Amino acid sequence: MPDFDPHHRGEALDKERINRIGFGVYEMGSVFKTITVAGVLDSGLANVNTVYDATSPIYFGRFSISDFHGKRRPLTVEEAFIYSSNIASAKMAMHMGVPAHRAFLKKLGLLDPVVTELGPSAAPIVPKHWKKLNTMTIAFGHGLSVTPLQLATATVPLVNGGLAVPPTFLPRTREEALAVSSASSSPRPAPCSSG
């Protein structure tokens, strides 16, 4: 609220009427750790029992990455997720490597606007020069800004058996959703093995 007339989409961009679900971009913080865990599991480089050392902060030049309520010990992937470890998340993303981490985010649609009946969402704010530090901070939700709609769309294959279903504001049956997801020619992700 306040609402806008979908037949006059330009009204939605008025700062007092902006649809924050599709046009507000935010650094999502720790919820991005879900994406990082899915990425390292999907890559086959780790499983839920793989251990990442979260004993001490990561120092990168003048920057440091630490945990808010750190356990200060090695953590399994499962524990890193449960305890919301920034250190372990950064190490998972670096275990994947910068190109593979970025490719996974792209595969989930987090680097492109989401297209619905209302048109494309706002574009994400992506680092101009994507380096190791960007990958480490994006792993725990900082340095990449996306819309809530993008995050919700990217999360669908993680909880839907690996099947990405393009979002809609219109009613559709399960069968229609499956048909759209398998026949989609848009740059939405193919089914992921983590699910």
For the cut 80, the answer to whether the pLDDT of residue 183 exceeds it is: no
**Would you name the residues annotated as active-site residues?**
30
**Which of 14-23, 63-72, 115-124, 172-181 has the largest mean confidence?**
63-72
Rounded CA gap, 167 and 156, in Å? Answer: 9
This prediction's pTM: 0.83
DSSP string, 114-173: -EETTEE-PPPB--SS--HHHHHHHTTT-S-EE-HHHHHHHHHHHHTTT------SS---
For 109, phi then psi, to 5°, come to: 85, 15
5-20: pLDDT as tens digits: 767 766 666 667 677 8
Which amino acid would we find at residue 73? R
The model's pLDDT over 19-58, given as tens digits with 9 standing for 90+, comes to 788 888 999 999 999 999 999 999 999 999 999 999 999 9
The pLDDT value given to residue 12: 61
pLDDT at site 189: 39
The pLDDT of residue 13? 63
Q: What is the mean pLDDT of residues 162-167?
A: 90
Residue 186, pLDDT score:
39
Please say if the pLDDT value at position 190 is more than 50.
no
How far apart, in whole angstroms, are the C-alpha atoms of residue 132 and residue 176? 41
Dump pLDDT digits (tens) for 74-115. Answer: 999 999 999 999 999 999 999 999 999 999 999 999 999 999
